[in-house]
Amino acid sequence: MTHTRIYHGQDAKFTERLATYYYLRDDARFGGWKGYLERPADFVRFCCYLHVTETLAARGGAGDARVLWRWPIGRYER
């Protein structure tokens, strides 16, 4: 099984997926999703995530989509 792709920070689709990935991870570090483009470890981790998901999707591994509910923080505070 092979899957080859080069990821660029200038690609609009790539940055949109990075922003979504950042939002769903609840990462509170400085720099927002753009910080991932400057931190090598985070950038490589995100590229690996994309690589795995794209490989699985190309091989029929993408199953039915599930809804991910994001609850507001205020819901947990008393």
Q: Does the predicted model carry a pTM greater than 0.85?
A: no
Q: How far apart are CA 65 and CA 44, in angstroms?
A: 25
* Residue at token pair 């990821």: 7
Q: Minimal CA–CA distance to 5: which of 66, 47, 62?
A: 47
Tokens of 65: 């989509």
Q: Give residue-wise pLDDT tens across range 10-36.
A: 888 988 998 888 888 877 777 888 888
Distance separating alpha carbons of residues 1 and 29, to the nearest angstrom? 36
DSSP symbol at 59? T
Cα–Cα dist 19/12, whole Å = 11
Question: With bands split at pLDDT 50, 70 and 90, how would you rate the model's confidence at 60?
Answer: confident
